Amino acid sequence: MSEIFHIGLGNNDDALRKKADADFVSFWDEQAKNLSWFSPWEKTLDWRPPFAKWFVGGTINASYNTLDIHQAAKSDKSAILWEGENGESRNLTYGQMFTQVQKFANVLKSLGVKKGDRVTIYLPMVPELPIAMLACARIGAAHTVIFSGFSATSIKDRVADSNSKVIITADGGYRRGKIVPLKDVIDEAISELDFVEHVIVLERTKNKISMSSKDQLWTELIDSASSSCPAEELPSDHPLYILYTSGTTGKPKGVLHGTGGYLTHLYSTFKWAFDIKDSDVFFCTADIGWVTGHSYVVYAPFLHGATQVMYEGAPDFPEPSRMWEILQKYNVTIFYTTPTALRMFMKFGDDIPNSFDLSQLRLLGTVGEPINPEVWKWYFKTIGKEKCPIIDTWWQTETGGMLISSLPGLETIPLKPGSGTLPIPGVNITVVDENGGDVPANTKGYLVIKNPWPGMLLTLWGDDEKYKTVYWSKYENCYYPGDYALKDDDDYIWLLGRADDVLKVAGHRIGTAELESCMVSHPSIAESAACGIPDEVKGEVIIAFVVLKQGISNDTSILEKELSNKIRTDIGAIATPKQIYFVSKLPKTRSGKIMRRLLKAIGNNEKIGDVSTLEDGAAVTEVQQVFDELQKSIKENSR
């Protein structure tokens, strides 16, 4: 039985769900009217499976909806409260953003960027990143933002794939007090890409860089640019951006998003999930290089004219208290982060957050991975002081915005730690078996989406066939996200991990999330990852990797027994791992997700493959070393 928490913000609007259930198309039609359109649409949805066009015939501009519309009432309101890793700060108002975006849009135009072109952006977390994105949107060029931790090879592939003639970068970016030489990385990435015509360089760190004939400084270009650039009137399905997925399960996919549908989805979910008010200070810790940053740092808060904190650096630098210092300093009211970050903060202990004033917080959120109930409860108690609802938002780069989440801005429902709760209104999500049939309550299966939704990707960039195969071929006319899930008696959805990672042991199917959550609920364990490796007798056996909490030095052989017993009691003997390895780090993607495919590769003695999205290459080597050592000792013991 899961625990239930009755906590909300007092909102209860039943009518909205009723409307959505009655007719999802006219429901979204109504939501789209919250945006400013240059001309209205003729058709709400043109659905030619698996391609959806929303608000056909309508014209709109994302930059207009995030900036122009706020000028009359909010030009002096803070849009971005920026905190540099080195302690610098900047406050940019909606008025200042408006001017900067128009100037930069004119810069892009002067370099020959036109409607329909692609522009690659490789910038650190500085205000110029959203400025560059909104400037692209203003003139109808699609941005393709690459996370500023990526290597030259990853950039080269992405620039070539999107055929960007203009690249925007910085001399460097700060990460853990060190300068990451971004411009040097770009120089290497484009050395063989002759079609790249211009590189715009923002001076962030003033480190030494070499400038070629293609390179121009941001400041020099913007100083001479005019501050007036009217927003282009674009068709609703005009490409807004290409963004590559995290690469957790393999090679990243170039997800293409449109404009009108995407913005409608973001406007609505930001209001329902975060209950955004004019007085709020919102803080989403995601890097803009990931979809969470695109949707809930750049577009959604700006659509609502919200004030938000933007932080440049690592969340635990220079001290593990950095995040809480920022929350206190800016009086953050809504905080949105990842389970991985929370597990890290939890590992540091309660004294750190307890020494800050977090009393302004009224709503907390998570995204990116299943959150273990243990971590949820810690977040609720230690950070939210038992007064803030927590939203656990499930979505993907492909979905554009959240699809499963509790919505405290709309309704008050009981919260169950570890469950994303219900699909958002207007979205039909369910759990099915291998053949596409609905599974009974409390039965594991695959998550599917049965109707198109407005934030849905248009396609995979330049590859309609792959788009069809990856998402639409497993079940007819149903979107297949690739996640394993179950619905409980209250129709709450529980995400159980990636479908590819489902552990099949002696005919039983176990989600990685179930097992990991169980291990993390042991008081000494901070993080865990489970995966399956082939076994001649059982078909597959489970192995697990765990990271201990800081300061824990228990005998690992005793801990291993305790963990096995816990799994036996909580899940069943069948789920007991064959081996549990104690490691100091887990291999993660740059967006902080555990890469089980790597653990699996190590377990199977396979090659590790493409590791370009790893946060820290050393972690893989370390896991490999620990594994090798253990294998060796096991072999020796069995002689």
Q: How far is the CB of 425 from ligand ATP (least distance, A)?
A: 18
CA distance 202 to 163: 22
Which option in Mg ion, ligand ATP, none does residue 353 bind, with CB closer than 5 to 8 A by kind?
A: none
By CB under 6 A, the count of residues binding ligand ATP is 26
Is 130 a binding residue for ligand ATP by CB under 6 A? The answer is: no
Return the number of the residue (218 or 461) whose C-beta is nearest ligand ATP. 461
Residue nearest to Mg ion (CB): 245
Return the number of the residue (3 or 357) whose C-beta is nearest ligand ATP. 3
Return the number of the residue (341 or 630) whose C-beta is nearest ligand ATP. 341
Is 249 a binding residue for ligand ATP by CB under 6 A? The answer is: yes
Return the number of the residue (267 or 394) whose C-beta is nearest ligand ATP. 394
Q: How far is the CB of 249 from ligand ATP (least distance, A)?
A: 3
CA 525 to mean position of chain CA atoms: 25
Task: Note whether 532 and 542 are within 8 A (CB).
Answer: yes
Q: How far is the CB of 67 from ligand ATP (least distance, A)?
A: 27
Q: How far is the CB of 617 from ligand ATP (least distance, A)?
A: 18
Is 338 a binding residue for ligand ATP by CB under 6 A? The answer is: no
Site for ligand ATP in 495-554 (CB under 6 A): 495, 498
> Any idea of the CA torsion for 487, 493, 494, 498, to the nearest 10 degrees?
100
Q: How far is the CB of 248 from Mg ion (least distance, A)?
A: 6
Which option in ligand ATP, Mg ion, none does residue 368 bind, with CB closer than 5 to 8 A by kind?
A: ligand ATP
Task: Note whether 113 and 131 are within 8 A (CB).
Answer: no
Among positions 258, 313, 425, 481, the unique one binding ligand ATP when judged by CB under 6 A: 481
Is 367 a binding residue for ligand ATP by CB under 6 A? The answer is: yes
Is 181 a binding residue for ligand ATP by CB under 6 A? The answer is: no
Site for Mg ion in 213-272 (CB under 5 A): 245
CA distance 401 to 51: 18
Q: How far is the CB of 245 from Mg ion (least distance, A)?
A: 5
Asked if the bond preceding 50 is cis, omega within 30° of 0, the reply is yes
- Contact string (CB under 6 A) for ligand ATP, positions 392-421, x = contact: xxxxxx----------------------x-
CA distance 223 to 484: 52
Is 369 a binding residue for ligand ATP by CB under 6 A? The answer is: yes
- Tokens for 446, please give them: 């695959």
The owner of tokens 């005009």 is 238
Cα four-point dihedral sign 234, 237, 238, 239: positive
CA distance 488 to 324: 35
Largest CA distance in the chain: 80
Q: Look at strands 142-145 and 59-60 and give their pairing.
A: unpaired
Mind giving me the DSSP string for 17-83? HHHHHH-HHHHHHHHHTTS--SB--SEEEEEETTEEEEEET-EE-HHHHHTGGGHHHHTTSEEEEEE
Q: How far is the CB of 251 from Mg ion (least distance, A)?
A: 11
Is 63 a binding residue for ligand ATP by CB under 6 A? The answer is: no
Mind giving me the DSSP string for 81-138? EEE-TTS-EEEEEHHHHHHHHHHHHHHHHHTT--TT-EEEEE--SSTHHHHHHHHHHH
Return the number of the residue (135 or 404) whose C-beta is nearest ligand ATP. 404
Which option in Mg ion, ligand ATP, none does residue 148 bind, with CB closer than 5 to 8 A by kind?
A: none
Asked if the bond preceding 353 is cis, omega within 30° of 0, the reply is no
Which of these segments, 14-22, 342-350, 364-372, 379-387, binds ligand ATP (CB under 6 A)? 364-372
Label residue 399 exposed, middle or buried (CB < 10 Å: 0-12, 13-18, 19+): buried
Return the number of the residue (105 or 457) whose C-beta is nearest ligand ATP. 457
Residues facing residue 234 across a β-bridge: 60
Count each helix (H run) and each strand (E run) in the chain, helices first: 21, 30
Q: How far is the CB of 397 from Mg ion (least distance, A)?
A: 7
Among positions 124, 247, 418, 577, the unique one binding ligand ATP when judged by CB under 6 A: 247
Return the number of the residue (447 or 518) whose C-beta is nearest Mg ion. 447
Site for ligand ATP in 271-300 (CB under 6 A): 290-291
Q: How far is the CB of 188 from ligand ATP (least distance, A)?
A: 24
Is 372 a binding residue for ligand ATP by CB under 6 A? The answer is: no
CA distance 617 to 588: 9
Task: For residue 244, give the DSSP letter.
Answer: E
Among positions 59, 246, 269, 451, the unique one binding ligand ATP when judged by CB under 6 A: 246
- Contact string (CB under 5 A) for Mg ion, positions 481-520, x = contact: ----------------------------------------
Is 483 a binding residue for ligand ATP by CB under 6 A? The answer is: yes
Among positions 127, 252, 305, 401, the unique one binding ligand ATP when judged by CB under 6 A: 252
Q: How far is the CB of 422 from ligand ATP (least distance, A)?
A: 13
Q: Which of 560, 526, 530 is nearest to 545 (CA)?
A: 530
Residue 352 CB neighbour total at 10 angstroms = 18
The owner of tokens 């890290």 is 344
Contact residues: Mg ion, CB under 5 A: 245
Contact residues: ligand ATP, CB under 6 A: 245-249, 252-253, 290-291, 367-370, 392-397, 420, 481, 483, 495, 498, 591, 593
